[in-house]
Structure 1
């Protein structure tokens, strides 16, 4: 059985913004720490080769949990999984920013990866629920553009931040964005009926 698509006359731009904001920070964080590895390694007194775990931890967590979260979204609702992912991402981003050791930062990056996976696993499904049928193709195209541009912009944004302040802010900036996304989600993302199995 498939989702029953609810046709809407107008597009809820705030619902789109809710999904897009979290998608942006989830994709940014897949590449934003790359530029900062030498600085982070120096700050923690470890080798640059050891600091690569900051990148790997995030990527492994995302890859390992994308499919399970997608299945959960179908079972309990995409909005619930999305919002849980946003909360997890915000919490772990703050943890990353406050980390005092490489091990602590790596652990929070794993949690952050799980949060990102929850957001990204239901991203396309939410876009399909938000956009009217006549605008769905455009919505999916814009969503792909948001994902691609965000991932590509990570190193440039990281360089700009590092030129002005410490690496901790690479993660701190996620918190207010995630909170705004969560607030918009609470107000503007409509819950969907649970999908039946079988």
Structure 2
């Protein structure tokens, strides 16, 4: 069946089979949850963070801006890179960068260190978010593509709405560093055995100049 409009060449598979599809979508959802939460989760703890790193209220805003600016600047470049190198490679690269940067945020002792870590974290988030829709497109068959995109949108909306509550719950029992440290085990979960499709080696890249669209297995490896 044809996966992309405008191409007449048949491809061997329309979407991923179960249970591979479930694990693939779960991996994308975990990445999105981390990326979206960290866009707003630090807002609640900003006064506490500013006090601990000895920064003024004015300067501490850079903790938020550094992340958001990095995401906005790199979403489109990473989406284009996904077409060249393969969506899964960009997604996994974003997961690795985001997880390492989250650990860097948790270990930061000064405002400068935290700001730099947040910039790197934003780069990783952009890598995840830029190709999530494309990976969902290849994970679901065309007949269920709307369902996949709806789940994707629900994850983003729910994460955005829940961010302040999650931040408050964490701060009620732990220090602000755990707002970022909690991403580390979630990031590792994307490479754990339950998320098999996201852990396997990537297939040849999907290029925009290819004569036929990449199949679901080539997009996911």
Give yes or no for contact 2:16–2:140 (8 Å, CA) kept in 1. no
Could you tell me which runs of 5 or more consecutive residues in structure 1 were left unpaired when the two chains were aligned: none
Partner of 1:168: 177
Partner of 2:205: 194
Partner of 1:100: 109
SS at structure 1 position matched to 2:77 = helix
Specify the structure having the higher radius of gyration (Cα). 2
CA shift in 2, pair 1:92/1:9, >3 Å:
closer
CA shift in 2, pair 1:124/1:146, >3 Å:
same
Partner of 2:13: 6
Given candidates 121, 127, 136, the residue that maps to 1:127 is: 136
SS at structure 2 position matched to 1:30 = helix
SS at structure 1 position matched to 2:192 = helix
Moved more, 31-40 or 45-54: 45-54
Partner of 2:43: 34
Aligned residues: 197
Could you tell me which runs of 5 or more consecutive residues in structure 2 were left unpaired when the two chains were aligned: 210-221
Given candidates 42, 47, 57, the residue that maps to 1:48 is: 57
1:111 maps to 2:120 = yes
CA RMSD of aligned residues (A): 1.9
TM norm structure 1: 0.93
Deviation at 1:183, TM superposition (A): 3.1
SS at structure 1 position matched to 2:44 = coil
